[in-house]
Amino acid sequence: MRSLKLAWSLVALLTLVVAFFAYKFTAGEAQPSQDGRLEIQLTPDERNTFLLEMRTWMQSTQAIMAALSQEDYATVAKLAKAAGMEVEEATPAVMFKKIPLPMKKLGFDTRAQFDAIAADAGQKNMQRTLGQLGQAMNNCIACHATYRFSDGLVGQAGR
């Protein structure tokens, strides 16, 4: 009887440990910051990687609009695809786990919207593509309004 109880306690304990690590891996961490947004602590390298990804995203968005104004839908599709989910495949897991779950969802949703722009570009419907771009960019705004990265210098000499 006692060993059965012990076995169940062990199962319960292990379940808790697994749940804790599963939570740690997917939940990420963000803290309140001075400007009212939630701040995510990254190393300088991680921050640089993310910000480069952001600047590339802005560049792609501009290039999509320029191609659209020329009614060059093949280029719209190519650029939108390259700004879609395939970018996330290159993000290292260690960085990923620092991003809070709602932010990850917002990021994935935005990438998926770029995939949809790519998929629909063949319809050659400028109004539709512009509407999709406007909607996707609402996500850029929403995420920037809610989250920021730490300057990456916390814990370094002199801080």
- Residues forming contacts to ligand HEC in the complex (CB under 6 A) are 51, 54-55, 57-58, 61, 103, 106-107, 110, 136-137, 139-140, 143-144, 147-149
Residue placing its CB nearer to ligand HEC in the complex, 67 or 136:
136
Residue placing its CB nearer to ligand HEC in the complex, 63 or 140:
140
Token look-up 């700004």 returns 83
Q: 57: closest CA among 137, 127, 122, 120?
A: 137
Within 10 angstroms of residue 147's Cβ, the number of other Cβ atoms is 19
- Nearest-approach distance from CB 39 to ligand HEC, in angstroms: 8
Residue placing its CB nearer to ligand HEC in the complex, 124 or 144:
144
**Taken in order 27, 33, 38, 40, is the CA torsion positive or negative?**
negative
- Nearest-approach distance from CB 102 to ligand HEC, in angstroms: 9
Q: Is 50:143 a contact under the CB 8 Å cutoff?
A: no
Token look-up 């690590």 returns 21
- Nearest-approach distance from CB 57 to ligand HEC, in angstroms: 4
Residue placing its CB nearer to ligand HEC in the complex, 57 or 96:
57
Identity of the residue numbered 136 = A
